[in-house]
Amino acid sequence: MAALGSERGRWPHLSVLVARRQTAGRGRAGRDWVTPAAGALTCSVVIGAPAGVPLTWVPLAVGLAVRRALATWLDVGLKWPNDVVAGAPHPLWGWGRKLGGILCERHPAGPVVAGIGVNCLQPPDELPVPWAGSLAALLGEGAPTPGEVLRVLGPALAEVFTAWDAHDDTLRVEYAAACTTLGARIRVEVAGGTAEGVARAVDDDGALLVERPDGEIARVTAGDVVRLRGRGPDGCVGRHTRAVGLGE
C-alpha cells in the first residue's frame, strides 16, 4: 500500500495490486488483517479522487463497488463506514456476517489507496472471529474464487468512480439503501468520546448522523459502530439542526 501511494505517476487511477496471501495486513485502529493463501481476495486500489468530493466518501464508494461485484452471487449490505456484511445478524455482533472490509489511506505525495479484503474460500474454522463469514460458508460449493471476484470487481470500481467523477448523487441514494447501519440503535466509539442513539443518515461528506435520545444530532466522521439492543426513539432528523462533531 505504501508503494502505491508514494510512487506518484507509476500507478494510474484504479491500478490494482493483489496479494495472494496476507501476513502483515492492517485493519482499522491498527488491527491485524491476516488471510490464508488463495483463501481471500486482498488487494490495494489506487483512487484518483476528483476535486471537490469529500475523501470521507472514498471507503463508502469502494464499498458500493464491492457490493455490486458480489451481487453476481449474493446480496450484501454495508456497515458504515467500512464493513461488508451478509446474512442474518450474529448475536455476538448485531450485524450480518462480516465478509470483508475496506481501509483507505491518503498519501501526501500521491492518491488515496484503498485496501480491500473479501473472504472467499475459507471454511468456518479458518475465520478469525465468530461473526466473520466467507462466500464459501454462505454459498457452499458455488462460492467464487478470489480471482473470480477480482474479475467483476474491476468493472464495478470503474462504474462507481465514473459516476463519482460526474458527481452523480445516485451513489448517495444507493449507499443509503445498502447501509445496514441506518435505522439501527447504535453507539459509536471514537477518540473524542461516544455518540449513542439512532443512525439516521449519511450526509454529503460521508459522515454518519446519529440522533441522540434528547433529539440532538451527532455528526460522526470515524469510529467503531456497536449495535445496541432494543428499539430506538421515533422522530425526524429534520426537526433538529444542532450537530456535534466527533471523530474529525
Set out the domains of the chain in order of their start, with CATH numbers. 2-178 (3.30.930.10), 185-246 (2.30.30.100)
**pLDDT for the residue 21:** 60
8 Å CB contact between 116 and 41: yes
pLDDT of residue 34: 59
Radius of gyration of the chain (CA): 18
At residue 207, the pLDDT reads 95
Per-residue confidence band for 193, with pLDDT thresholds at 50, 70 and 90: confident
3-state secondary structure of 194: strand
199-207, long-range: CB < 8 A, 24+ apart: 199/80, 199/225, 200/237, 201/176, 201/237, 202/60, 202/80, 202/172, 202/175, 202/176, 204/54, 204/172, 205/54, 205/56, 205/57, 206/54, 206/56, 206/57, 206/59, 206/60, 206/81, 207/56
Provide the pLDDT for residue 106. Answer: 84
pTM: 0.84
Q: Are 244 and 217 in contact (CB under 8 A)?
A: yes
Residue 108 has a CB neighbour count (10 Å cut-off) of 7
Q: pLDDT at position 68, please?
A: 98
pLDDT at residue 236 in the model: 35
Q: Which residue has the cell 463508502?
A: 60
pLDDT of residue 4: 57
Is the pLDDT score of 7 beyond 90? no
Peptide bond into 111 cis (omega under 30): no
Which is higher by pLDDT, 226 or 110?
226
Residue 123 has pLDDT above 80, yes or no: yes
Cα dihedral 104/60/198/86 (nearest 10)? -100
Mean pLDDT of 130-159: 96
The predicted structure's pLDDT at residue 117: 94
Residue 238 has pLDDT above 50, yes or no: no
Tell me the pLDDT of the chain averaged across its residues.
Answer: 84
> Rounded CA gap, 219 and 25, in Å?
29
The stretch 219-223 carries a mean pLDDT of 91
Q: What are the respective helix, strand and coil percentages of the chain, to the nearest 5?
A: 25, 30, 40
Q: What is the distance between the alpha carbons of residues 245 and 169, in angstroms, rounded to a whole number? A: 24
Q: How many CB atoms lie within 10 A of CB 147?
A: 12
Region of 247 on the Ramachandran plot (φ > 0 left; ψ -120 to 50 alpha; else beta): left
**Residue 137, C-alpha cell as written in the block:** 460458508
